[in-house]
Structure 1
Amino acid sequence: MSKNEKTGLYPKPSSPCNCMNIRRASRAVSQFYDSMLEPGGITLNQFGMLNVIDGMQAPGISELAGEFRVDRTTMNRNLKPLLEKGLICQRQGSDARRREIVLTESGRTALLRGKELWDAAQKALEDYLGADELKQLKSTLSKLEALVP
């Protein structure tokens, strides 16, 4: 994360399209977090899912899909790598139609390691932006997210 000392600008010039700028920034931040989480063997998306599953305590697929603002098919596809790695498992819910998602012991271990790495990524981003700029960014992102309730 470095600035071009000659021009004072960051490596990529801004696009005239606001959406493109937001998408490029989102991809860059996601890649940064993925690189920080890599030593833990999980991606940012997987860390987020493990964290939400842990916090929701045995959610169903529909609940998870709603939390992530995706459809059930996408949620199933996103959960597949976690199932294959043995970080989560599915169990029968309170009724025959409900399948609950729970962390395995390996999943809990990965989540704990991921939290350490995620904390380091959070600190690095705060150091890069500064507290005031980060506060403004959070406010702006919240406002943008509210475009689609």
Structure 2
Amino acid sequence: MHAADEPSFQTTLTVRDTCLCLHAQRAARALARRFDIALKPAGISSGQFSLLMSLNRPEPPTLGSVAALLAMDRTTLTANLKPLERRGLVETAPDPADRRARRLRLTPAGRAVLRGAVPIWRHLHAEIETALSDPDQLRAELTRLSEPGPRGSPTG
């Protein structure tokens, strides 16, 4: 790379100050840290809370549907499930209708962990929403960005 091809320091400052991806990543990490700290007494992280909550359905969801909901690839989801399975919070079983698919189920221990975690989540979530000028607008914009297609996906 020639010196003329190097991005200038001004470009670095512009990215620091304007890059939506950088700002979203920083905010996501800061929020996750706050929830991780708050959920520690429940024995789970913020990511584990989201994963367990995604399984809290009338019927056990498929691995693929949970991966889609959490915007994770299946390999990452499987890796995140392993510690929860070892702790007896989640069970994985073949789908009776399609033996190639796997269904995920909260165990009674998993439901008990969620019972303890939900009041913690509610309290911190309300505190954070109160600090935002328009949480509904933020949620709507983030949802729009996470949807596949021209606005939310580089492939769209």
Q: What interval of TM-score do these two structures reach, taking the shorter chain for normalisation?
A: 0.7 to 0.9
Question: How many Å separate the matches in 2 of 1:106 and 1:118?
Answer: 18
Residue 35 of structure 1 corresponds to which residue in structure 2?
37
Residue 109 of structure 1 corresponds to which residue in structure 2?
112
Change (3 A) 1:66 1:136: closer
Question: How many Å separate the matches in 2 of 1:29 and 1:91?
Answer: 33
Which stretches of structure 1, 4 residues or more, deviate above 2 A after TM superposition?
14-18, 95-99, 142-146
Residue 142 of structure 1 corresponds to which residue in structure 2?
143
Computing the radius of gyration from Cα coordinates, the structure with the larger value is 2
Q: Relative contact order, CA 8 A, sep 6+: which one is greater? A: 1
Moved more, 16-25 or 26-35: 16-25
Report whether the alignment pairs 1:122 with 2:125.
yes
Question: How many Å separate the matches in 2 of 1:16 and 1:31?
Answer: 23
Give 2:76's match in structure 1, choosing from 54, 60, 74. 74
Residue 92 of structure 2 corresponds to which residue in structure 1?
90
In structure 1, the gaps of 5 or more residues are 1-13
**How many correspondences in the alignment?**
134
Report whether the alignment pairs 1:46 with 2:52.
no
Q: TM-score, normalised by structure 1?
A: 0.79
Change (3 A) 1:118 1:64: same
Question: How many Å separate the matches in 2 of 1:70 and 1:22?
Answer: 17
**Structure 1 residues 105-145: Cα deviation after superposition (integer angstroms, max 9, x where no partner):** 1100011111111101111102222xx42233223322322
Question: How many Å separate the matches in 2 of 1:96 and 1:135?
Answer: 40
| Identity score, percent | 31
**Structure 1 residues 64-122: Cα deviation after superposition (integer angstroms, max 9, x where no partner):** 22222222111101111111111011223214333321111110001111111110111
Question: How many Å separate the matches in 2 of 1:69 and 1:16?
Answer: 24
Q: TM-score, normalised by structure 2?
A: 0.76
